[in-house]
Structure 1
Amino acid sequence: MMGPKQETQSALFYEFSLEDHVPQDHFLRSIDQFVDLSSIRPHLSDFYSHTGRPSTDPELLIRMLLVGYCFGIRSERRLCEEVHLNLAYRWFCSLDLNDRIPDHSTFSKNRHGRFRESGLLRHEFETTVARCLKEGLIGGHGFAVDASLISVDVQKQNSSNPEDWAAKQIDPKDAPRAVREYLDTLDDEAFGAATTVQPKFTAHADPASQWTAARKGPAFFAFSTNYLIDTDHSIIVDVDASRSNKTAEVGAMRKMIDRTQERFGLKPDWIAADTAYGSGDNLVWLTLKRQILPFIPVFDKGERTDGTFSRSSFAWDDDNDRYICPEGKELLHTRRNYSDATRSAPTWKAQKYRALKADCMTCPSKAKCCPNSDVRAIHREKYEHVRDFARKCTASAYNPTAQKRRKKVEMLFSHLKRILGLGRLRLRGPCGVQDEFTLAATAQNLRKLAKLKPLVPAAG
């Protein structure tokens, strides 16, 4: 039969426990076992006054931010509402039913103040990486690096040509926060000093962002989030923000590799990346200065697309410092016989190797080699020895495994945008962007820990 109508009845007393109402297998319970905030108060002790009204607990703010980034709640207004209503969120934030939720403006005040000045978000990210290391999820043998474009919360209509921007007289004291941060990063390799090329447009609200059409579609303003991951379990060992151009992203990679070694003593045996990281200077930095094997395709402009012989069609003879063409003729950078043999010895500089005109004019393959010139010449880069070493790495039997593992970082970017909802930035300026990327990477590592090391509910 039909049951009685449910009516709201107010009781004088309730016996209620959040601990009993959050399921033992809830995802937040698995995350909570890996959240270590014991070092927050000592870390922030110098940034609080010893007098005045008590402030909001910084541990509560960090826990709320972790909830927001773990579950894709981007708005801090909405985050406060969700924590107010959701019992599991209250339990994770150590809030009772009667505890008051902080106002959304508290996050902005602390983020622009003591959190940023103390580097607290970076500190918590490194604490999470240290926990992953303790749990045995970081092997430290193979790393992968990549960058992904994240659009900025500005519009093209609110931008101008850099020349018009430079002509404006702006007092740094009266400028918005994002503009002041832009001025502070003009000499930073990841931002202002990354390239001397002037962008087509500069955003007024966030001038540090990059106007880019790298997605082969309509151009937009963006920053790049750079991930350095351990390929064993896709743990993010470092994260950095930069402008969206190749030079800035390579600079971010170098910074992350050095910082990871300094913080955790981790230096990989090999690293995998795409062609954007395959410039000669970067390969020299990896192989000669850091002794890391590069499974990186070489950035090479020597390949021809018109059907004629490319540089790779010529065999390099290192013992005799020459190229051998497909017809067996040699190309030399000099044909003089010096009394001092060191004058013609191979050196670390760019050189041009040429064949004999007599050989080329009578060659049966001239139409496929140098149809528009009398002699075939090959330009050899300054660090071609290192580039040849990188080619051997990418041609080795282990390269398919390294490239397969490299795709794990692309999966993390997909998860970042699709699950965590970071397809468009909410904060502006280099510091705000770095905060968002750091919190998102922390949340991804915590979710990975919870997945690989789930909490086993107590029996009974």
Structure 2
Amino acid sequence: MMGPKQEAQAALFYEFSLEDHVPQGHLLRSIDRFVDLSSIRAHLADFYSHTGRPSIDPELLIRMLLVGYCFGIRSERRLCEEVHLNLAYRWFCRLDLTDRIPDHSSFSKNRHGRFRESDLLRHVFETTVARCMEEGLVGGEGFAVDASLISADVQKQNSSNPEEWAARDTDPTTAPRAVREYLDTLNDEVFGAATTVKPKFTAHADPASQWTAARKGPAFFAYSTNYLIDTDHSIIVDVDASRSNKTAEVGAMRKMLDRTEERFGVKPDWIAADTAYGASDNLVWLALKRQILPFIPVFDKGERTDGTFSRSDFTWDDENDRYICPGGKEMRHTWRTYSDPKRNAPVWKSRNYRALKSDCTGCELKAKCCPNAETRSVHRDKYEIVRDFARQCTTSEFNPKAQARRKKVEMLFAHLKRILGLGRLRLRGPCGVQDEFTLAATAQNLRKLAKLKPMERPAG
């Protein structure tokens, strides 16, 4: 028979426990074991007044932000609604059924104030990385680095060319927050001073964003999120925001490597990256200054595509400071004989090595070597010896393994955009962008901890 109609009946007393209503296999239960926010009150002690009304617990705000980034809730207004309704979110945030949810404006007030002044989000991220190290998920032997474009929260219609934007009378005291942050980072290596090339357009609302067409499609305003990961278990050991150009991304890589060694005492034996990091000065910085093996393809413009011999077809003779052409003839940077051999000793500078005209004129390979010139010349970079060392690394037996591990960074970027929903930024300015990237990286590390260190299920 049909049962009675279900109607909600109010009871005088309820016996209810959040702990009993959150499933044992819920993601937040696994994440909660690795969230240690016990130090943030001491970290923020100097940024609160000793008088006045009691403030919202900063741990509650951080826990709510972690929920939002772990589950792809991009809006803080919607995050407050979800925490109000979801029992698991309330349990993770240490809220009872009758506790009030903070207003969404509290996040902006604290983010632009004490959170940013104290660099709290960086502190939370580094605490998570330290926990990953305690769990044995960071080997510290091999790192990988890469950058990914994230669309900025601006439109092309609200932009102008750099000359028109520079001509505007911008008063730092009345300018929007994103413009003030841009003016403060004009000398920063990963923002204003990253490159002298002027973009076609500058966004009025967020001038630090980069106008780019790097995706081989319609150009747009974007920032780059830079990840430095340990390749053992894809743990993000550092994250940094930069403009979307090669110079800024290389500068972010150096900054992250130095900061990781300073904060955690970890320096990798080798690092893997793509060709964007294969410029001569960066390879010198890695191999000579930092003593790190670079498994990075060399950024080389010496390869020809017209069918003639490229520079790689010429054999370098380091002992005699010369090149040997495919025809067996030698090429020197000078054919002059000095009475003092020291005057012709190899030095660290760029040189052009040329063959004799008599050798090239009657050569059978001239049509494939220098069909439009009398003699063939080969340019040797100032730090070509370091570039040759990098080429040896990329042709070694370990390189395929290093490049396979490098792809773990790209998987993290795919997870960032598809699962966490960070395909477009919500905050503006260098500081706001850094906050978003730091929180997203923290959420990814926590989810990785929950996956690799699962909870022990009770028997039965």
- Pairwise TM-score range, normalised by the shorter structure: over 0.9
Query: Which residue type is aligned with residue 242 of structure 2?
Result: S
Alpha-carbon distance between aligned partners in 2 of 1:322 and 1:409, rounded to the nearest angstrom: 40
- Aligned twin of 2:194: 194
One-letter code aligned to 1:455: M
Could you list the runs of 4 or more consecutive aligned residues of structure 1 that deviate by over 6 angstroms after TM superposition? none
SS at match of 2:29: helix
1:440 is matched with which residue? 440
* Cα distance between partner residues in 2 of 1:30 and 1:372: 68
Once the two structures are superposed, the pairs formed by residues 414-453 of structure 1 within 5 Å of their partners are 414-453=414-453
Alignment of 1:256-405 (within 5 A): 256-405=256-405
Q: What are the superposed Cα offsets for residues 239-292 of structure 1, whole Å, 9 maximum, x if unpaired?
A: 000000000000000000000000001000000000000000000000000000
Mapped to 2, the partners of 1:340 and 1:252 lie a distance apart of 46
Q: Which amino acid aligns with 1:107?
A: F
CA distance in 2, matches of 1:458, 1:143: 37
Which residue pairs with 2:91 in the alignment? 91
* Cα distance in 2, alignment partners of residues 345 and 395 from structure 1: 30
Q: Could you say which residue in structure 1 is the equivalent of 2:82? A: 82
Structure 1 partner of 2:119: 119
2: distance between equivalents of 1:331 and 1:352? 9
**3-state SS in 2 of match to 1:254:** helix
- Residue in 2 that maps onto 1:146: 146
Deviation of 1:456 after TM superposition, in Å, equals 1.3
C-alpha separation between the residues in 2 aligned to 1:395 and 1:94? Answer: 54
For 2:284 and 2:246, locate their aligned partners in 1 and report how far apart those are by CA, in whole Å: 17
CA-to-aligned-CA distance 1:278-315 (integer Å, 9 cap, x gap):
00000000000000000000000000000000000101
What residue number does 1:185 align with? 185
Q: State which drifts further: 188-197 or 335-344.
A: 335-344
The secondary structure found in structure 2 opposite 1:237 is: strand
- Residue 223 (str. 1) matches residue 223 (str. 2): yes
SS in 1 for 2:271: strand
Q: Distance in 2 between matches of 1:430 and 1:368?
A: 51
The one-letter code sitting in structure 1 at the alignment partner of 2:348 is W
2:158 is aligned to: 158
SS of 1:423 mapped into structure 2: coil
Matches within 5 A, 1:169-180: 169-180=169-180
Match of 1:61 in 2: 61
CA distance in 2, matches of 1:414, 1:257: 23
Q: Structure 2 unaligned runs (5+)?
A: none
Give the AA of the match of 1:19.
E
Q: Which amino acid aligns with 1:209?
A: S
* Counterpart code for 1:28: L
Matched residue, 1:35: 35
Residue identity in the other structure for 2:179: V
Amino acid of the structure 1 residue aligned with 2:437: F
Letter in 1 for 2:265: G
Supply the distance in 1 between the matched residues of 2:458 and 2:189 (Cα, whole angstroms).
51
Deviations 1:120-141 (A, max 9, x none): 0000000000000000000000
- Note the C-alpha offset of 1:104: 0.1
Identity score, percent? 84
The residue type paired with residue 418 of structure 2 is R
- Specify the code of the residue in structure 2 equivalent to 1:177: R
Cα displacement string for residues 179-232 of structure 1 (whole angstroms, at most 9, x for unaligned residues): 000000000000000000111000000000000000000000000000000000
Deviation sequence 1:44-87 (CA, Å, 0-9, x none)? 00000000000000000000000000000000000000000000
Task: Provide the rounded CA distance (Å) in 1 between the counterparts of 2:88 and 2:201.
Answer: 45
Cα shift at 1:458: 3.8
Deviation at 1:2, TM superposition (A): 2.0
Amino acid at match of 2:229: I
Aligned partner letter, 1:320: N
Matched to 2:398, the amino acid is: Y
Give how far 1:404 is off: 0.1
What amino acid does structure 2 have at the position aligned with 1:254? R
TM-superposed deviation, 1:170? 1.1
**1:459 Cα deviation (Å)?**
4.3
Deviation at 1:420, TM superposition (A): 0.1
Distance 2:170 2:389 in 1: 50
SS in 2 for 1:193: coil
Aligned-partner SS, 1:72: coil
- In 2, Cα distance between equivalents of 1:319 and 1:158: 60
Q: Aligned partner of 1:48: which letter?
A: Y
**d(CA) in 1 for partners of 2:457, 2:105:** 37
Query: Could you tell me how far apart the structure 1 residues matched to 2:185 and 2:344 are?
Result: 45
* Equivalences for residues 18-33 of structure 1 within 5 A: 18-33=18-33
Question: Following the alignment from structure 1 to structure 2, what is the Cα–Cα distance between the partners of residues 42 and 109?
Answer: 20
One-letter identity of the residue aligned with 1:162: P
- 1:5 Cα shift? 1.2
Partner amino acid, structure 2, of 1:319: E
Deviations 1:96-134 (A, max 9, x none): 000000000000000000000000000000000000000
1:211 aligns with 2:211: yes
Return the offset for 1:339.
1.7
Q: Distance in 2 between matches of 1:399 and 1:2?
A: 70
TM-score scaled by length of structure 2? 0.99
Letter in 2 for 1:383: Y
Q: How many residues align?
A: 460
Cα separation, 2, equivalents of 1:230 and 1:200? 37
What does residue 17 of structure 1 align with?
17
Secondary structure of the residue aligned to 2:252 is helix
SS in 2 for 1:149: strand
Q: Tell me the C-alpha RMSD between the 2 structures.
A: 0.6
